[in-house]
Amino acid sequence: MIPFLLTFLLALLLYLLLTAGSGNLLLWSPQELVAGVVLSLLAAAVAKNFLCRSHNFRMANPLRLILIPLYLLGPFLLEVTLANLDVAYRVITGKIRPGIIRVQSGLKTDLGIFMLANSITLTPGTITVDIDEESHDLYVHNINVPAGWEAETGVIDRELFSLADIPAWIRRIAE
Amino acid sequence: MIADILVLACLSIGILFNTLGIVGLLRFPDVYTRMHATTKMTTFGSMFTALAVIIFGGAQFISTGDSQYVTLSTHTIIAALALAFTNAVGSHAIARGAHRSGLKPAPAVVDRLEEWAP
Amino acid sequence: MIEPWYAAVFVLVILVCLALARLFLGPTAADRAVAVDTVNTLSVAVLILLGVAYQQIIFIDVAIVYAVLSFVSTLYIAKYLGGEL
């Protein structure tokens, strides 16, 4: 029941956001509201087992949801800008030293791994290639392996990021 | 006036990063390094062009009061978010598929994934 | 004065053509998949800019749907490359 309700609310919110300003009942026209409720019920009936697969409702807490935009606009934006300047420098000069390294994350939930893998892909000259499903370690392709890392078997995730402590933020949000 | 300058600046930054991404796609030696150029830089560049559109919509709403421009900005924000998430996951999937198909990173100082071999 | 949106769309379309060069040249299938992914991203940017240039908000809705559907196609291509399909 709870997965159904959460999926319904999420779909309805997205629909209302997309059709805002269509009429005079608050912001929406009555037809849009009825269509939104019917379509969200349908979507929730079909997709309830996909959204809440682990039956773990920690993310429904509004406080955690407020943290996500803060994280995206603060440390994440900073790291993305820095990473883009770094890759721009490497495109122009052609100085690369690629390699695949193993990164120990220590995260336990699926959502945490998902957010860390996406943050790694978009930030510091690195792309997540594969994930060890049991130990939740990441295999990361690094465009410029720092000297000495090719001998290490596992790098701690904190060392990948130069400015902000991204893994600590993800732990705060997802665990 | 300030909004015009901001829009032009965001558009220029977006085009610059997109161009560098394509140059990287044509120039880098193997598929993983090419992915670095395209994923990061075209996502960032497209986000900046979307930001230009968002600023334009906000400025037009303030000067004309037409609510159509708010709709423009919200839809662009949703499109930019969809773009950021899908691009990151898509490039991760391509990298995983490429490594499983037996494509090794050609110039590489280390390849830990090769030693793991599930 | 030329509208800045049209100029930006012009440059982006040239970039799409350059990415298509990698699509034809690419030595392996994965290179081609990366090129297709890039073309999809640039297409979404072009659609957003054209939506402003022509004052048509429906173009941006099309861009959202295009981003999500091209993501699904990318996932299927990646699964096929990895031999999991």
Query: pLDDT by residue (tens digit) across C45-77?
Result: 888 888 888 888 888 889 888 988 988 988 888
Distance of CA C85 to the CA centre of its chain: 24
Q: Which of A84, A97, A101 is facing B40, going by the closest CB pair?
A: A84
Q: Which of C11, C30, C51 is facing B31, going by the closest CB pair?
A: C30
- What residues in B contact C51, CB-CB < 8 Å? 53, 72
What element of type H or E holds C30?
Answer: helix C29-53
Does residue B58 surpass a pLDDT of 60? yes
Chains contacting chain B through 3 or more C-beta pairs under 8 A: A, C
What element of type H or E holds C7?
Answer: helix C4-25
**Which residues numbered 30-69 in A keep a CB inside 8 Å of some CB on B?**
none
Does residue B118 surpass a pLDDT of 60? no
Nearest-CA residue of chain B relative to C38? B38
Chain A touched by B44 (CB under 8 Å) = yes
| pLDDT band (50, 70, 90) for residue B103 | confident
Q: Which of A84, A127, A145 is facing B32, going by the closest CB pair?
A: A127
The pLDDT value given to residue C52: 86
**With an 8 Å Cβ cutoff, are B39 and A122 in contact?**
yes
**With an 8 Å Cβ cutoff, are B93 and C45 in contact?**
no
Give the percent of chain C with pLDDT over 70: 98
The pLDDT value given to residue B5: 86
* Contact (CB, 8 A) for A124 and A160: yes
**With an 8 Å Cβ cutoff, are C38 and B22 in contact?**
yes
Query: pLDDT by residue (tens digit) across A4-33?
Result: 788 888 888 888 888 776 667 667 777 888
**With an 8 Å Cβ cutoff, are C33 and B94 in contact?**
yes
The pLDDT value given to residue C1: 43
The pLDDT value given to residue A157: 66
Does residue B43 surpass a pLDDT of 60? yes
Question: What is the domain extent for residue B14?
Answer: 2-96
B14 Cα to chain A: minimum distance (Å): 12
The pLDDT value given to residue A158: 67
Q: Which amino acid, residue B30? A: D
**Radius of gyration from C-alpha coordinates of chain C:** 15
Q: Which amino acid, residue C22? A: R
The pLDDT value given to residue A79: 81
**With an 8 Å Cβ cutoff, are A99 and B74 in contact?**
no
Chain A touched by B41 (CB under 8 Å) = yes
Chain B touched by A156 (CB under 8 Å) = no
What element of type H or E holds A161?
Answer: none
Number of domains in chain B: 1
Nearest-CA residue of chain A relative to B40? A122
The pLDDT value given to residue A20: 74
ipTM value, please give it.
0.83
Q: Averaged over B18-47, what is the pLDDT?
A: 84
Query: Helix H segments across chain B?
Result: 2-27, 31-36, 43-64, 68-100, 112-116
| C74 backbone dihedrals φ, ψ, rounded to 5° | -60, -40
Asked if the structure places residue B19 within a domain, the reply is: yes
Q: Output C69 or B63, whichever has higher pLDDT.
A: C69
| pLDDT band (50, 70, 90) for residue C25 | confident
- What residues in A contact B105, CB-CB < 8 Å? 98-100, 141
Q: Which residues of chain A are under the pLDDT cut of 70?
A: 21-23, 25-26, 52-60, 147-164, 174-175
* Contact (CB, 8 A) for B41 and B10: no
What element of type H or E holds A3?
Answer: helix A2-18
| pLDDT band (50, 70, 90) for residue B4 | confident
